[in-house]
Amino acid sequence: MKQGVDYIGVTIATMCFHPDGKLLVVHRTTKCRDEHNRWDIIGGGLEKGEEFAEAAQREAYEEMHVRLTDVQLIGVRNVLRTHDAVQTHWVCVMMRGTVTNPDDVAIQETEKFDGWKWTEVNDLPSPLHSQFMKQLEHYQSWLKKA
């Protein structure tokens, strides 16, 4: 059985910020699950028994060798979409955090990513993951309330 296809998947999507306010974005390879050759944020599946903040920190370290502080929940989205003619269903837990070691960024999962960069949120690279702008909109709404 396949997560997100045969049953609802739960994913953590984390906006990782440099202390100067820039956002870490990663470039997906043709070997990642979907959305090949697109820019995205760090994310991955929630593991059994794991808190949301723990998952965000784990994924950030596993994918890009970064440590996070000030990890906060910014929202939850129900993501229903069709990708490559397959209906998928994910619950996306949206997080944000500040990178404590921005000079140590290094791709750890080379089969999934082939590039990364720090960028301003008003100067994003393209093409973006199909869910990226929805994540950014939630983050901006959360900022206004915080």
* CB neighbour list of residue 17: distance below 8 Å, 6 or more residues apart: 23, 24, 96, 97, 98, 99
Is residue 98 very low, low, confident or very high in pLDDT (cuts 50, 70, 90)? Answer: very high
| Average confidence (pLDDT) over 18-22 | 97
User: 3 in a domain, yes or no?
Assistant: no
Average of per-residue pLDDT values in the chain: 95
Q: Is the pLDDT of residue 124 over 80?
A: yes
Residue 125 lies in a domain: yes
CATH label of the domain that carries residue 69: 3.90.79.10
pLDDT tens by residue, 31-41: 988 899 999 99
The pLDDT tens digits for 76-92 are: 999 998 878 999 999 99
Q: Tell me whether residue 4 is in a domain.
A: no
Residues sharing a CB contact under 8 Å with residue 122, sequence separation 6 or more, in sequence order: none
Considering the domain boundaries, does residue 51 fall inside one?
yes
Domains in the chain, number: 1
In a domain, 70, yes or no: yes
Q: For the chain, what's the residue count?
A: 146
Report whether pLDDT(57) > 80.
Answer: yes
Q: Tell me if 1 is assigned to some domain.
A: no
Domain boundaries, position 117: 9-145
